[in-house]
Amino acid sequence: MATLDFTVQTEEDAYNLSANVRLIGADVLVAIWGGERPHIGAVAVAQPRPSLKDPAVTSASASVICLVGHKEDELAKATAEILAAALKTQVVVTAGIHWDNLAPEAIQRIVRHSEILVEIILTRLAAET
């Protein structure tokens, strides 16, 4: 696989997210950030594996490190697992997103933006690899 490094972002509203994607050999490294104070709050490492329900389907397992006081662990894990299963390769995702005093609706929008970001990443990788 050729060397590939690109940045994408959602363009939905005030809670947009960005991601830098880098291929390292066949593996994928993704850094996701957004908000008033981007940072690294969680790291997830995923690897593809046969699904437990149907071994003909590729799934993924992930391990997560979440720094104290951060809540990006679920986003990092879900993103890493989706990408690892879809791309059938090892994936590392860092995530650090921060806005002050978020309402529950804003959190739901950020989760939706993370899903959109994964779709954008998969589409871009399919077009360029």
- Residue found under tokens 């929008």: 109
Cβ proximity of 31 and 20 under 8 Å = yes
pLDDT value of residue 128: 86
Cβ proximity of 70 and 41 under 8 Å = yes
Residue 2 reports pLDDT greater than 70: no
pLDDT value of residue 129: 75
Q: From 48, 57, 56, 9, select the one nearest 27 (Cα to Cα).
A: 48
- DSSP tag of 118: H
Which CATH number describes the domain made up of 5-128?
Answer: 3.30.230
- The answer for 35, left when phi > 0, alpha when psi is -120 to 50, beta otherwise, is left
pLDDT tens-digit readout, 45-94:
999 999 999 999 999 999 999 999 999 999 999 999 999 999 999 999 99
pLDDT value of residue 1: 44
Q: Which 3 state secondary structure label does DSSP give 113?
A: helix
pLDDT value of residue 12: 87
Cβ proximity of 32 and 114 under 8 Å = yes
pLDDT tens-digit readout, 16-53:
999 999 999 999 999 999 999 999 999 999 999 999 99
